[in-house]
């Protein structure tokens, strides 16, 4: 079972205690003779520190060290400065170095080598195409880049474990998600934080942007805002609209739950499952019912307290924890799924992530020009279950057929409905 739980922004709940984490790294340039001093600092560290890379550099060596947490990294940088003094030629934080690149860039598809090429991009050429599209609006996807373009939108209301942020502060997280979706799908994913004061403004912004995109994906957005946007007919009718909760995490969680029950030889129809704080899970409860689970308890810890859950745990086959219980019940297995604290990518086969299902569902929506339906999500669940190795909860995120299998299953469900 995944064990992600509570935690602050600097100390995520999914950080493995005592294990070095590349998110807390420092790269230093030092003379070649300084390695012994660096090893002495590592040995004296208050937490786990490992040397990830030691490479030649014009000044001597370029060394990257990974710490296990923010406090250990702070100690490490200060200790290196004290120990090395003027031998510490340069320090760089790889996390901020990667963020400063923007993580994505545009590529030019049209040739601009000659004057003839440029003329094909000039106003007279554009008038011809626009005049044609005005007469034949269904040809837009034939003569523009819209079919491969996806808007990745957030209102910054639910970014990781932060309180609501200003839109621009959410950019690093949205850019990272754009990188992952582009790698998995090949689509042009454009990160777009929206400065919306409420769900109504977010809905209006998406409706205004929709004509330029094949699909819109909502990420790092409060569940209530996602629900409000999805309920608006003006948005639903303009382009495919997906979100990382309903079209990502809920699908992956359902597959993990089915695989857990199978591993214990419990049929879904005979299973007893409790979902803690179900409002955080989007349509997870509906997907579980569609997947065949009949005995489903939707448990509100704020209304009921924690003791009733502990008392009923012995009669449950699984507790699905969406809130991050400080004291989970001991009488039943617990699958921890906090939407804002996903497990690390490297161990994602042991815990659900939106990237298990979202890339394949996005490809299906774009190709079929259809809104993702409940049958398509259920088909994605079954595809994930079929790809999961015996005894596992989910297929690894780097499975070579992951996106294609979900895409094909969902496309069949969309075209048959």
pLDDT, tens digit (0-9, with 9 covering 90-100), for 381-390? 999 999 999 9
Q: In what order do the strands lie in the sheet with 295-299?
A: 295-299, 272-276, 318-321, 334-336
CA distance 175 to 194: 14
Rounded Cα distance, 57 and 258, in Å? 51
Q: Which helix (H) or strand (E) holds 26?
A: strand 21-30
Mean pLDDT of 224-240: 77
375 φψ region: left (φ > 0), alpha (ψ -120 to 50), beta (else)? alpha
What's the rounded mean pLDDT across residues 70-92? Answer: 96
Residue 250's nearest CA partner among 213, 223, 229 is: 223
Query: 194 vs 112, 156, 173, 208, CA distance in Å?
Result: 33, 8, 14, 12
The pTM score is 0.90
pLDDT band of residue 154 (cuts 50, 70, 90) is very high
Tell me the backbone φ, ψ of residue 279, rounded to 5 degrees.
Answer: -60, -25
pLDDT computed for residue 341 by the predictor = 83
Report, as an integer, the average pLDDT of 215-219: 97
Confidence band of 13 (pLDDT split at 50, 70, 90): very low
Sheet of 188-193, strands arranged across: 188-193, 149-154, 215-218, 240-243
Q: Are 220 and 174 contacting, i.e. CB atoms less than 8 angstroms apart?
A: yes
Instruction: Establish how many alpha carbons lie within 13 A of residue 29's alpha carbon, considering only the half-sphere containing its beta carbon.
Output: 9
CB–CB of 284/250 below 8 Å?
A: yes
pLDDT on residue 330: 87
């Amino acid at each position: 079972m995944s064990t992600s739980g509570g935690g602050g922004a600097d100390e995520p709940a999914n950080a493995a205690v005592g294990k070095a984490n590349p998110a807390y790294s420092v790269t230093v340039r030092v003379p070649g003779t300084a390695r012994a001093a660096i090893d002495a600092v590592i040995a004296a560290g208050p937490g786990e520190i490992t040397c990830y890379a030691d490479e030649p550099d014009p000044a001597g060596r370029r060394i990257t060290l990974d710490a296990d947490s923010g406090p250990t990294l702070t100690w490490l940088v200060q200790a290196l400065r004290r120990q090395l003094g003027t031998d510490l030629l340069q320090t760089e934080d790889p996390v901020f170095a990667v963020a400063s690149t923007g993580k994505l860039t545009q590529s030019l598809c049209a040739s601009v080598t000659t004057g003839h090429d440029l003329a094909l991009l000039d106003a007279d050429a554009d008038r011809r195409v626009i005049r044609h599209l005005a007469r034949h609006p269904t040809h837009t996807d034939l003569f523009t880049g819209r079919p491969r373009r996806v808007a990745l939108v957030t209102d910054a209301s639910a970014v990781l474990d932060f309180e609501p942020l200003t839109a621009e502060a959410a950019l690093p997280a949205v850019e990272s998600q754009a990188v992952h979706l582009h790698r998995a799908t090949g689509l042009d994913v454009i990160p777009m934080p929206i400065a919306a004061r409420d769900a109504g403004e977010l809905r209006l912004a998406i409706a205004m942007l929709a004509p330029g995109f094949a699909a819109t994906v909502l990420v790092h957005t409060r569940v209530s805002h996602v629900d409000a946007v999805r309920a608006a007919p003006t948005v639903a009718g303009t382009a495919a609209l997906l979100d990382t909760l309903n079209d990502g995490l809920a699908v992956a969680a359902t597959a993990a739950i089915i695989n857990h029950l199978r591993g214990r030889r419990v049929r879904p129809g005979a299973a007893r499952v409790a979902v803690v704080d179900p409002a955080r899970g989007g349509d997870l409860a509906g997907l579980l019912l569609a997947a065949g689970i009949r005995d489903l308890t939707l448990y509100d810890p704020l209304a009921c307290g924690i003791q009733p859950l502990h008392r009923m745990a012995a009669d449950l086959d699984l507790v699905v924890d969406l809130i991050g219980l400080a004291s989970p019940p001991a009488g039943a297995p617990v699958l921890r799924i906090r939407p804002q604290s996903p497990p690390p990518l490297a161990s994602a086969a042991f815990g659900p992530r939106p990237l298990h299902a979202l890339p394949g569902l996005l490809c299906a929506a774009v190709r079929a020009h259809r809104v993702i339906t409940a049958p398509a999500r259920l088909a994605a669940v079954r595809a994930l279950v079929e790809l999961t190795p015996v005894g596992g909860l989910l297929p690894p995120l780097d499975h070579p057929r992951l996106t294609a299998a979900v895409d094909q299953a969902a496309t069949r469900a969309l075209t048959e409905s």
